[in-house]
């Protein structure tokens, strides 16, 4: 074969109940003493964060809790200012995908000039990351984005809310502490939406036509684990095994999408920008429609998805199973039931058509296709 393909795997992972208690010793071993915790406003008010901070003896800790919703560039810049004000020597990302994405680039903007948008991968004069970045560790408190093991950070433009991506191996966490106990108090609706995000990552990365057999194997196993755990995690929130399985499925999905994603995510990113819809929920609302459209392009791959999910009957049965699973975990109705209207399509369609994740959809999609998909998902 004449083409050279390069592969990479991400960061060291400490996985299991109680992993959060290892963070202080780990940082002290690195000679670090002044962490800035980056988290979101809602999480900062919960006992979960206070409990985590109780395990950080020996460290001089500061908190930035300015992350909210789909995170913006302004939140990143505020976080970098907090890093400098504390004279921090490392960053602890604590939260869901939004908090972890902001945490990844707080250190970048604390050590580099300019605005974070100048470092997004598709900026016409993208600035290189030239300075060493602060040590960064990540603790996920949801099981959906897998941001803790990703080499990208998605932030929204302040005014337009268009999602932009900083992509570099340099922003990877230096260590991940994946503790499923941190997800035990997640509400059912968040467990469901983030869980569907994890499943979508595994499914879409497997369907991507890019060549990456390592990611294909991870995606199928991530789907196998998540498919058997999500309903239990929603219905039995204290089930630690189900919580651990969803956290693993989430991480595996994020590792797998080194291979890229597809049009479900293109639509979801548009819905986040135009409607401020939760990313996992947006994926869940679009996945049936987009997969049904993709089926004819790669039917054999859908059979493999069915096998991994433990669904008899091949690809068509898999899509039926996925639709039923959504109902079981409480995600019902189409886009209209969640505040999206036909009047929003002139904004949604061009955003989806321009989104880079759609470039690796197994069936090429143009604006007219996205308009039809959004109509069908209403």
- Do 224 and 360 lie in one domain? The reply is yes
The answer to whether residues 193 and 232 touch, using CB atoms and an 8 Å cutoff, is: no
Residue that is last in its domain, among 129, 150, 183? 183
CA angle 215, 94, 255 (to 5 degrees): 0
Residue 5 falls within a domain, yes or no? no
Secondary structure element (H or E) that encloses residue 200, with its range: helix 188-207
Residue 1 falls within a domain, yes or no? no
- Do 107 and 240 lie in one domain? The reply is no
d(CA 338, CA 268): 13
- Do 351 and 231 lie in one domain? The reply is yes
Secondary structure element (H or E) that encloses residue 36, with its range: strand 35-40
Residue 19 falls within a domain, yes or no? yes
- Do 310 and 169 lie in one domain? The reply is no
Please count the residues of the chain.
378
- Do 99 and 17 lie in one domain? The reply is yes
Per-10-residue mean pLDDT, the chain, length 378: 54 91 97 97 94 96 91 92 97 95 95 90 83 97 93 85 86 94 95 97 97 95 98 97 97 92 96 91 96 96 97 95 96 95 95 93 96 96
3-state helix, strand, coil in the chain (%, to 5): 55, 10, 30
- What are 138's two structure tokens? 């990540």
- Do 203 and 333 lie in one domain? The reply is yes
- Do 169 and 199 lie in one domain? The reply is no
DSSP code, position 94:
E
pLDDT of residue 1: 41
Strands 62-67 and 135-140: unpaired
Q: Which residues contact 289 (CB under 8 A, 6 or more apart)?
A: 373, 376, 377
Q: Which residues contact 328 (CB under 8 A, 6 or more apart)?
A: 231, 234
Q: Which residues contact 341 (CB under 8 A, 6 or more apart)?
A: none
Per the structure, the complete domain to which residue 29 belongs is given by 13-183
- What are 231's two structure tokens? 């309903």
**pTM confidence score:** 0.93
- Do 342 and 303 lie in one domain? The reply is yes
The answer to whether residues 256 and 222 touch, using CB atoms and an 8 Å cutoff, is: yes
CA angle 64, 68, 69 (to 5 degrees): 155
- Do 166 and 207 lie in one domain? The reply is no
Residue 294 falls within a domain, yes or no? yes
Residue 179 falls within a domain, yes or no? yes
DSSP code, position 72:
B
Of 293, 286, 302, 263, whose CA–CA distance to 340 is shortest?
286
d(CA 185, CA 363): 39
Residue 8 falls within a domain, yes or no? no
At 72, give phi and psi (nearest 5°): -110, 165
- What are 323's two structure tokens? 């639709």
The answer to whether residues 253 and 219 touch, using CB atoms and an 8 Å cutoff, is: yes
| Total tally of structural domains belonging to the chain | 2
d(CA 321, CA 92): 38
What does each C-alpha distance from 134 to 88, 89, 107, 157, 174 come to in angstroms?
9, 6, 6, 24, 10
pLDDT of residue 165: 87
Instruction: Read off the CATH number of the domain in which 115 is found.
Output: 3.40.50.1970
d(CA 163, CA 116): 12
pLDDT of residue 5: 52
- Do 55 and 104 lie in one domain? The reply is yes
Instruction: Read off the CATH number of the domain in which 366 is found.
Output: 1.20.1090.10
Residue that is last in its domain, among 183, 204, 233? 183
Residue 125 falls within a domain, yes or no? yes
- What are 44's two structure tokens? 């900062």
Extract the runs of DSSP E, i.e. beta strands, from 121-246: 135-140, 152-156, 163-167, 175-178
Q: Which residues contact 25 (CB under 8 A, 6 or more apart)?
A: none
- Do 221 and 176 lie in one domain? The reply is no
pLDDT of residue 12: 87
State the residue for tokens 């996205």. Answer: 370
- What are 356's two structure tokens? 């880079």
- Do 66 and 194 lie in one domain? The reply is no
Residue that is last in its domain, among 183, 211, 235? 183
């Amino acid at each position: 074969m004449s083409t050279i393909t390069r592969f990479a795997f991400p960061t060291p992972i400490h996985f299991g109940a109680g992993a959060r208690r290892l963070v202080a010793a780990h940082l002290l071993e690195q000679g670090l003493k002044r962490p800035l915790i980056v988290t979101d406003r809602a999480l900062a008010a919960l006992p979960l964060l206070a409990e985590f901070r109780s395990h950080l003896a020996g460290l001089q800790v500061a908190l930035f809790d300015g992350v909210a919703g789909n995170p913006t560039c302004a939140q990143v810049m505020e976080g970098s200012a907090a890093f400098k004000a504390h004279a921090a020597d490392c960053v602890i990302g604590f939260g869901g995908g939004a908090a972890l994405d902001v945490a990844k680039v707080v250190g970048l903007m604390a050590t580099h000039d300019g605005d974070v948008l100048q470092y997004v991968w598709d900026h016409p004069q993208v600035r290189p990351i030239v300075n060493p970045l602060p040590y960064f560790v990540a603790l996920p408190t949801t099981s959906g984005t897998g941001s803790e093991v990703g080499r990208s950070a998605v932030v929204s433009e302040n005014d337009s809310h268009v999602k932009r991506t900083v992509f570099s191996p340099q922003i990877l966490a230096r260590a991940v502490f994946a503790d499923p106990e941190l997800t035990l108090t997640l509400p059912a609706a968040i467990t469901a939406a983030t869980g569907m995000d994890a499943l979508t990552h595994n499914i879409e990365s497997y369907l991507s036509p890019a060549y990456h057999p390592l990611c294909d194997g991870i995606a199928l196993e991530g789907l196998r684990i998540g498919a058997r755990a999500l309903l239990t995690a929603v219905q039995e929130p204290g089930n630690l095994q189900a919580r651990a399985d969803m956290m693993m499925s989430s991480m595996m999905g994020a590792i797998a999408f080194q291979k890229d994603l597809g049009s479900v995510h293109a639509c979801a990113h548009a819905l986040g920008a135009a409607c401020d819809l939760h990313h996992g929920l947006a994926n869940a609302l679009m996945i049936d429609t987009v997969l049904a459209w993709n089926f004819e392009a790669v039917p054999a791959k859908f059979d493999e998805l069915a096998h991994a999910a433990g669904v008899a009957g091949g690809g068509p049965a898999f899509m039926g199973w996925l639709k039923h699973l959504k109902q079981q975990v409480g995600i019902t109705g189409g886009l209209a039931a969640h505040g999206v209207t036909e009047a929003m399509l002139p904004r949604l369609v061009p955003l989806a058509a321009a989104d880079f994740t759609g470039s690796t959809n197994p069936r090429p999609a143009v604006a007219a296709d996205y308009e039809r998909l959004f109509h069908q998902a209403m």
